[in-house]
Structures are given as C-alpha cells and as structure tokens.
Structure 1
C-alpha cells in the first residue's frame, strides 16, 4: 500500500465510502472513537456518486435524487457548514404524453390541483385529501424508519420503549385510519390509486413511486408500501420527496466525509477489502486486497449483506440456517441507467418548451397503469422492456454547473431491465437497450436524437460490478414486505448486529432499506454506541 493505516489499529473500521458508511463514521468519530473508512474506489459516494463520464459533464451515475435524506443528519452533523446545498424543484414531476398535454405535479398543492383539473375536475377535488392521507401515513413510516426493529421472536421489553412515539402517533390516527393504514401496506399501488382517481396519466405518475427500483409492476402486492416510503420527507405538499444536491450527488458524500474528518475520522480511498479478519467468532480487523491488515475490534459494513457475509467472511463461519436465509435474500436488479449529453433542452409534446420550472423535477414517461404493468411483464421472462417506463431528470436546468455552458445532461432510470437476460448477455444487449430508450424518448420529444452528443448505458450487471450492488438491485435487497423491519436482512438480525461479535451492518441491506436516506448508517451508529455503553 500504502496507506499509513497498515499495521495500525482503530476502534472501528467502516467498509464502504457511500453515504451510509460515512454517516456511521461521522457519528462514531463524534462520540470519540478512532475510526477509519476504507473505500475500494478512488472516489466517495458509492452508488450515489458524480463522475465525469463525458468531458466537462458531471454525471450522477447512480442515484440522482436526495429527497429522502434524513434532515436530522443534516442538522446533527452540521452539513451546512460543509457547503452542502439542496435544490428543491417547483415541480415534483411532469408526465408528458405522445399525443396530448403533459401533466405537471407541482410541489404547491393548490397549483397541482389546478393542473389536475385540466384533466378531471373530480380528480382535482380529491387530490388534497389524497395528499393528506399519504402525508399522514408517510409520517408514520418515517418514525418507524428511524427506530431499531425489535428482536422477534426474542422480544425484550427495553426494545419497545423507543417505539412509544410510533405507537402514540399511530393511535392518534384514530381507529378508522389505523385500519386503513394496515389495509394499505400490502396493497398493489394500482388498487390504491384506482380507489382515488380516474385519470390514467395521473394514476401512472403517482404509481411510479411505488415501483421505482423494484422488479414489480403496479399490480403487485406491497407496492403501495413503497409509495409511502418514497413520500417520507415530502410533507403535506407532495406525494414524493424530491430534491437534488447542488453540484451533484457526490457533494453529499463529500460533505459527510468532511464532517467525519472534522470529528477525527480517517478515510482511505482506492483500497478494496479482501476479507474481514476473525479470531473464532470475534472480529479482529480487515485484510486489504494488497494483503496488508488493519486491526480493530469492530468492523461496520455498508456493503450488501450477501457480499459481507459470503465474500468477505465465507459461509463456513455461520450456521446452516443463517447461510440458507442469506442465500434466499431476494436481490433482483430491475433498473438500468442511460445518461445522455445534450446540446439543448428537448421539447416534449404538450409541455411548455424550455420551462425550467415544469421540467426541473422528475420526467415520468408512463401513460397508464396498464403500460407500467406491461413494461414489467417483459422482465418476468428475461427480456428488457420494449416499451419501458422511464424516470428521468435534466439536472442542468436547475444546476448548470454540471455541464459545459449551454449544454445539458439527461439522466434516465430505465425499467424494467432484469439482471439476467434469457437469450443473450448484457454485453450483447447493452447498445440495443440504449437505442430503445432513445426511441422511447423520441416518441415524447421528437428530434431529441439530434441533441444527443454522447450516451452512457449502465446495465444491472454494470451496477453490480461497479458499485457492488448484488444482483444489480439498487436497494441492497428487494423491499418486499417479507424483507423489511426485523426481517431485513434476515429474521433475527434486523438490529444491525450479526452472528459475529464486533461485526455490524450499516448499509441499505439493513432497516429501513434503500434510497439516499442515511438512515441505516444513522441507526447503526446509535446501536453501536449503545452496545459500547452497555459494556462499560
């Protein structure tokens, strides 16, 4: 190596320099621990990084929306002092059509209601009540997300005390609303929205939050839960939390790293971890790819659970039941990414040309629930969608610093793209996927092909190879109801601890799950410090 860490010892080693690992590092260092973060890549951010993919363009190659990032972390770590700024678009989303007016869902609920009335006065009248319902239930979800799941079935009374605010908040809903929440969680998002609205374009735009990053279509059970999850932090004005990081997503990780360093943490880039070192069932440190070792009585992994347990340790160190449960963690990748460099802003059918306010949020290309469901059908049989659902953004409309003067970026999440293709490899299919995405965009924005100067396609396989996302799943494991709370990553180990003494999880594979929230890292740090306190 050569990092000065070789041969030294630390109180805690953090595997992975993504936002969750950095959150954990900052809080542990703030508590006085000697902490080092070890990151395989030469840059921070993990799957929320900003890279110069095209000359002069700063591209968010992974996540591009930080709306779910926990406000308590921002204030608690004083990230404003590190120059972290968020951009809050006026429009949460716009849904263009190929042959009709676009629907803009403004952050201002009154303005959104006026917009919806252009399509249906009845739907517009119901929209405020819908937002109140989603906001009320999403706040319960937010409270649950920052708690540590209880140990089930070995339940301890002390583990329930932190859940009292959740219980009280839920009780205040009233019996009818409590039952409605319980009814909603396992529902297909399509059924939930059919109960509220009639306009196909509105229902599809709202439903998109329930399937983002999942292999599921809107008719699948549990997708209504994901809609509520995506609404955490949205408040009463929005169906979906949405805000962007000024300067690109890497600025979030850079600010977290600066905060961690401020508290004394060290960060080592460009060094992969080959294995976690053990003495019996106790962690003793890590060995780097170079063969050099760093000692610590505690290792905290922000990597995917399967990679942590099987690749960095090995199944032989765990009992048969635990190995079986880790093997059965569902982690099907379903999303690809296409990044486009543009010499101008595309003109979308039915949308105000060049309107920065209307086009500054998410651009949703899914005309109906039926089209969203059909897009998911292809993936069930090992094919990428021929009529894909696209969730895009043109971040340069609100942040010109990401591209050369006068030029723009378009970032497109593509669903559905299965990790394993039936009749070909992703190496063979990659270019065709990129072409299919551009063709789909052209049906909404005629002439967009002439604006494209460069294109990057990231398949689920690329996401796994580059960012360590097992199976290409952006959440480190699917977020079905059977893989949440005390069952995330597996039953019995939902409290960030593992079967090995001194090994903890702090990534999206732990409660509450994926998205750029910082919550798994935040919660894990709290539990680690509680364990240390109980030992002294």
Structure 2
C-alpha cells in the first residue's frame, strides 16, 4: 500500500528541517526522511572522542548566513556569540603577525604597522566598507524571490564596487588593493573555503565563494553557535515537530520516480510514499541517482551537473590548554579568539594551489583554525572547563578530492593530518601533539575528515560542502521566471520536485535559506500563483 503526504522532504539536514517547519506551520502534512539516526546533517554536534565530555561541532562550525527572519518566523531559541577578534595571522617569514581586533581599531592599525603595512590598514578599512555595502544591499534579498543580475547591481548602487568584486577575479582586485603579501592572503582566504581556485580565477568561482562569506547578516560577521552547531539543528527540529511535521530517522530513500513516489528503506522493511511535492535536501548528483533507480531516467540531472569536488580537510582537536605562540608578546587567547590563519599569505596560497593541482599535498598546507571553547565553553563538561582544556577546529585549504581515492583514503587521511599538524607547528612555540588529551581508550583526541570521509558520512559528492559549484545569489537577466521554483531558485527541472538544501540557488553554509525558499515555492504552487 502506498502512503500519501502533501510534502516529503528527503534529508533531515538543517535546511530540510527549516522547510518542514514552515510547511507544517502552513497546515501541510509533511514527513522528513533522514537516512542517519540523528537529524541535522552536517550541522551537528557530537561526542567525537570516546569517554570525553566534549560535544564538538563536527562538520560545520560557524554561522553567518542564517537570517534573523527565519529565527523569528520559526521562534527559534538560538544564541550566536560574536568573537572579539576577527583574525590573527603569524608572519611565516619573520617575527610577529597581524591581529585584527574588532573592538580596538588603533591596536589593529598598530598591528598593520608592525608588519610594515601601515598603508594597507587604510586600504583594509575602505575595502571592507565596500563589502559592507554589498552585504546591506544583498543579504536582505536572500529570503525573497531572486533578483535579476541587473536588479542586484542596481540595489548595490556602486558600479565600481560591483565590477571589482563581481565582474573581475576577486584575487586580482585584492592584489591591486593591498601591497603586503600576508594581508592579501588573509583577505583572499574567504574566497577559498571549500573552493579550489587559483589566485587569479577567471571562472569567478572564487568570487561567488567570497561574496557569500562577506554578506552574512548584512555585516559579514561569523559567529559561534552557543551549545555547538547541534543546538541550531536541534531548534529547527523542535520547531518542525511543534508545527506537526513527522521527522523520521533511520529512513533511507532508495528511489524516487517522476510521479513523486518515494521508496524508503527502514529497519522494518520498505514503504512507498506518494507526495504532491518532494523537496530534496541532498545533492543534484544524489537526486539523479534516486531518479535513475526509481524510473530509469535521471531527468537529465546527471549530464547537467558537473562533477563536484570539495577542497578541504577538517581536523578536530581537544587540547589540555592553548598552545604557546612563537610570538611570545601575544596572548594565545587573543590569537585563537578569532580565525587563526596559518601559512596563508597570497604567495603561499598560489603555491599550494599549484602543488595540489599537480597531484601533491601542499607543503606547507594552508589552514585556518578557530577555538569554539574560548567563546562558548558550554560544549565542554565541568571538569574539562575547570582544567583549562580547549578545542581547536582546523579547516585546511587546497586539499582537493582529486588527491584521494577509495583505496588511498586511510593513508591519505594520515598524510593530511600530518600536514595539518606540521603547518600548525610551524607557527607555535611547542608541538601541538604534546597538548592533545587522550580519550577513554588512551588514543589522542584528534579527528580528521577527508573529502572522501564527508562523501561516505554525508553523501556530499566529492566531499563538496556546497553540493557543487556555488551560484550567484541572483538570476541572469534572461533566465526564466515563469514558475515559483524558478523565481525562488529551487527548481530541478522536474514538476513538483525541488531542491531545498545546498543544491538550491543561494544554498551552502548553515543558513536555512534553501529550506525557507523551497517552502515558499511550495506554498506559491499550492496557491496557484
């Protein structure tokens, strides 16, 4: 017997939960089907180390793009804590480093001057005043139907700014704006989070990544979710349940046909669910596979979607204390209080790209670190907090999936972990491994995830945290807008089947934007708009 629902949502990540909450609040019969035993997808907290009372944000870890509108609409109790320091970057070729203190402009200017980059301090202020204008113009539009490119450009109202950051490679703009190699690198890293691109990226993929990193909340600030990322997904799940949505875990969707009939495999066997609308909180590649299994036709998605490739390695560490720095004049609490950039000068980033493109692990491996527990110690148990223990999360750049195969994944995980630790040690006064706590089995508290690990655990194609290439947050001027799915950027080309996660236009990161917009498209369709 085939069951019926108004809406079935494939995937219980944070976007799927957001869509479920909106649609159930509107009175629809909604079921979320999640393959894993926990909800949240990549936005989860976990006890990563056996017997250790620490719940780490395992995959995604900071929040910028979650609109206040979604928080208010769904009544979410979410605390996002700001960080005093924007970033610290040690000088890999000399003494000192660049500390950007959001609360002390004079100290920040002095830090620029200590590098011999006083002129870049003024350029920094002008440059980020420009990204602030972009953010204020564009971020309020992400929960509305898509603007056209011409409308977005008009909303920004600054053709020179638009051309510098949208129309020409952002790396070129950065190189022309700043003189210092370290400063250039710090700015450019926002274009490379999960994105494999050279400094002069003619494809403008780096521009798209950069844009999403600087517009969040209308300010570009990245905040720490109090309680860990699981607290964010937990609130979305609570809102969906209270609205009446069914949230089913341990339910793997194995097929979907063009008539929107879902086949789901659970512990008790298989069942079939027919839905008026199906929302897909998984990648285009995964949707193509489900359609091919369900009806023998992938809807053209397989051919239309280029192969996705992630470009990062993620390392979680639990330390007995913060490590001492080579720069003994700077307190570790300040250095690790924001984003800690390691070996990410502009030249180092290009050299690392070139090495990875040639099939080699970069040496040194560019990486950036943040310390959740400094801003939010609640993720640690009382004894760990009292002991001075701290978490470090490392996101290494230019580690593309092409470096890893199924056969070499275990060995490459160790190679990449060693490269991350070596890169970190190059700017510390002591080996970071000497500070690792041990878990209940006596093993060091370090967890490394390759792109292939992400594909296995979360079905992210090629380990891509964006499900593929990021899109601009607007439509091209000649793009069709005849359907709600087209206007909201959630269309798959198949009637009644919509993306609602990172595969949607304006997808990517912990934002709930994809879920919100898919829900709005469904409601418009049902209203006959």
- Is TM more than 0.5 here? yes
Establish whether residue 522 from structure 1 lines up as the match of residue 516 from structure 2. Answer: yes
Q: Would the aligned equivalents of 1:384 and 1:418 in 2 still touch at CA under 8 Å? A: no
TM-score normalised per structure 1: 0.86
**Would the alpha carbon gap of residues 196 and 318 (structure 1) be closer, same or farther in structure 2, given more than 3 Å must change?**
same
Task: String of CA shifts for 1:52-96, please: whole Å, max 9, x gaps.
Answer: 11122212221111122222111211112xxx2111101122212
Q: CA deviation at 1:136?
A: 1.1
Aligned counterparts, 1:254-269, within 5 A: 254-269=234-249
Q: Which residue pairs with 1:40 in the alignment?
A: 35
Q: CA deviation at 1:314?
A: 4.0
The match for 2:128 among 131, 134, 138 is 131
Establish whether residue 455 from structure 1 lines up as the match of residue 446 from structure 2. Answer: yes
Distance 1:471 1:311 in 2: 17
The match for 1:57 among 41, 54, 57 is 54
Q: Higher mean Cα deviation, 137-146 or 87-96?
A: 137-146
Distance 2:404 2:11 in 1: 32
Distance 2:164 2:395 in 1: 30
Q: Which residue pairs with 2:212 in the alignment?
A: 229
Q: CA deviation at 1:501?
A: 2.9
Task: String of CA shifts for 1:275-314, please: whole Å, max 9, x gaps.
Answer: 12x3xx3213332253123342222110011101223544
The match for 2:12 among 8, 13, 17 is 17
Q: Which residue pairs with 1:85 in the alignment?
A: 79
Q: CA deviation at 1:408?
A: 1.6
Q: Which residue pairs with 2:201 in the alignment?
A: 220
Q: Which residue pairs with 1:249 in the alignment?
A: 229
Distance 1:315 1:210 in 2: 38
Aligned counterparts, 1:354-373, within 5 A: 354-373=331-350
For residue 325 of structure 2, give the secondary structure of its aligned residue in structure 1: coil
For residue 53 of structure 2, give the secondary structure of its aligned residue in structure 1: coil
**Would the alpha carbon gap of residues 234 and 301 (structure 1) be closer, same or farther in structure 2, given more than 3 Å must change?**
closer
Distance 1:491 1:462 in 2: 37
Q: Which residue pairs with 2:408 in the alignment?
A: 425
Aligned pairs, number? 499
Task: String of CA shifts for 1:453-480, please: whole Å, max 9, x gaps.
Answer: 3211111000000011011111010226
Distance 2:287 2:192 in 1: 27
Establish whether residue 338 from structure 1 lines up as the match of residue 332 from structure 2. Answer: no
Q: Which residue pairs with 1:275 in the alignment?
A: 255
Distance 1:472 1:62 in 2: 11
Q: CA deviation at 1:129?
A: 1.7
Q: Would the aligned equivalents of 2:56 and 2:228 in 1 still touch at CA under 8 Å? A: yes
Q: Would the aligned equivalents of 1:338 and 1:412 in 2 still touch at CA under 8 Å? A: yes
Q: Which residue pairs with 2:390 in the alignment?
A: 408
TM-score normalised per structure 2: 0.87
For residue 470 of structure 2, give the secondary structure of its aligned residue in structure 1: coil
**Would the alpha carbon gap of residues 52 and 14 (structure 1) be closer, same or farther in structure 2, given more than 3 Å must change?**
same
Q: CA deviation at 1:521?
A: 1.0
Q: Which residue pairs with 2:67 in the alignment?
A: 70
Task: String of CA shifts for 1:10-67, please: whole Å, max 9, x gaps.
Answer: 2111111111111111111111111111111111221121111112221222111112
Which sections of structure 1, spanning at least 5 residues, go unmatched? 1-5, 150-162
Q: Which residue pairs with 2:284 in the alignment?
A: 305
**Would the alpha carbon gap of residues 114 and 27 (structure 1) be closer, same or farther in structure 2, given more than 3 Å must change?**
farther
**Would the alpha carbon gap of residues 381 and 145 (structure 1) be closer, same or farther in structure 2, given more than 3 Å must change?**
farther
**Would the alpha carbon gap of residues 350 and 187 (structure 1) be closer, same or farther in structure 2, given more than 3 Å must change?**
farther
For residue 273 of structure 2, give the secondary structure of its aligned residue in structure 1: strand
**Would the alpha carbon gap of residues 248 and 193 (structure 1) be closer, same or farther in structure 2, given more than 3 Å must change?**
same
Q: Would the aligned equivalents of 1:96 and 1:348 in 2 still touch at CA under 8 Å? A: no
Aligned counterparts, 1:21-32, within 5 A: 21-32=16-27
Distance 1:197 1:90 in 2: 24
Task: String of CA shifts for 1:141-165, please: whole Å, max 9, x gaps.
Answer: 424533444xxxxxxxxxxxxx49x
